[in-house]
Homo-oligomer: A and B are copies of this chain.
């Protein structure tokens, strides 16, 4: 297998550092790795798996000779540099929302739609974190039983808003008595005008609002799910909420299947043998997925599977994964592995 030259744009960020760790941990066949970030971070030293790396400023020439470039520095940086990278011959795996809904750019979760990779012309989009874990858990069900409807409510961690948001949660959490007046500078969204403490709170806003009343995060879940499943008739609706968790998004997913005669045990059996999924579903042992224990783990954890008492085709499940790993860095590295294996 040919070893490739890799670049990570946004290498100092919450996701960028995890991409580097996953590449090293999974022995991705690299000839070289270039860590790129803003001018401000140039010269910074990053240590991962015992190795030291020096961060460079991102400029168009950074991509000369690069085979695979991971982008995770925000939509604006992607819009600025992705075409520079592609023009220089790199395949871009973009972890921002910049290209996800562009019709001819594949939006890929390797466990769900790896075949979409074949249609790429230089750019592959990594879906939003909250979408990835949902479609990974739904795919084995969709494949065997048909899927007609999804209603999801999320419980999302602060790490999705970057390393600074983790620091803010830690600071606020230590100030219990003053919780309602704790200083807040980051959440719900940097693009907004108001900031609220996240410690001891639940904020029903992630990203900005659309004129429909939905947030962009909710629209990402709705639109990306339809694109990944290639089914515009699938009914999807979402409510996205930030809660005081460090890393690990939880999702309360209601879904309706097409098959009329399905038991909870049938669905458990499908998920038990599905790639990327760990079934944690034993109420007798109080065993179910929890964000606190998903932090640092690769799997999508699924539990609390049960039938809607009033709808024959309706089910609930509770799905948890580390939003920085399967929700972002791991999924991107898996996409790169698919590309390499195809070429190999």
A287-313 contacts to B, CB under 8 A, are 288-293, 295, 303-311
For the complex of A and B, the 5 pairs showing the least CB-CB separation, nearest first, are A213-B306, A201-B292, A235-B310, A153-B153, A209-B283
A255 to B285, CA, bound (A): 32
| Further 6 A-B residue pairs, CB within 8 A, beyond A235-B310, A239-B254 | A151-B254, A173-B173, A194-B285, A201-B292, A202-B290, A204-B250
Known contacts A289-B204, A292-B179, A292-B197; is-contact A239 B252 (Cβ 8 Å): yes
Chain B residues positioned under 8 Å from A127 (CB to CB): none
- Shortest CB distance A169–B (Å): 8
> Residues of A at under 8 Å CB distance from B?
149, 151, 153, 155, 169-170, 173-174, 176, 179-180, 188, 192-194, 196-197, 199-205, 209, 212-214, 222, 235-237, 239, 241, 243-246, 250, 252, 254, 264, 283-286, 288-293, 295, 303-311, 314, 316, 318
A245 lies within 8 A of B292 (CB):
no
- Kindly report which residue of chain B lies nearest to residue A286, judged by CB atoms: B194
Decide if A213 touches B264 in the complex (CB within 8 Å): yes
| A303 contact set on B, CB distance < 8 A | 204
Contacting residues, chain B, for A306 (C-beta < 8 A): 212-214
**Nearest opposing residue in chain B for A295, CB measure:** B180
B213 contacts A290, C-beta separation under 8 Å: no
Residues in B whose Cβ lies below 8 Å from that of A311: 235, 237
A194 to B310, CA, bound (A): 31
Whether B292 contacts A200 by the Cβ 8 Å rule is yes
Given known A209-B284, A213-B306, contact A239–B318 (CB-CB < 8 A): yes
Indicate whether A243 sits within 8 Å of B155 (C-beta atoms), given known contacts A204-B303, A235-B310. yes
A-B contact pairs, 5 of them (CB 8 A): A194-B286, A196-B292, A235-B310, A244-B244, A244-B245
A119 → B minimal CB distance (Å): 26
Residue pair B243, A202 in contact (C-beta under 8 Å): yes
A243 to B245, CA, bound (A): 9
Shortest A56–chain B CB gap in Å is 32
Closest to A293 in B: B180
Contact A243 B246 (CB under 8 A): no
Q: Which of B252, B290, B304 contacts A196 (CB 8 A)?
A: B290
Q: How far is the CB of A240 from chain B (nearest CB, A)?
A: 9
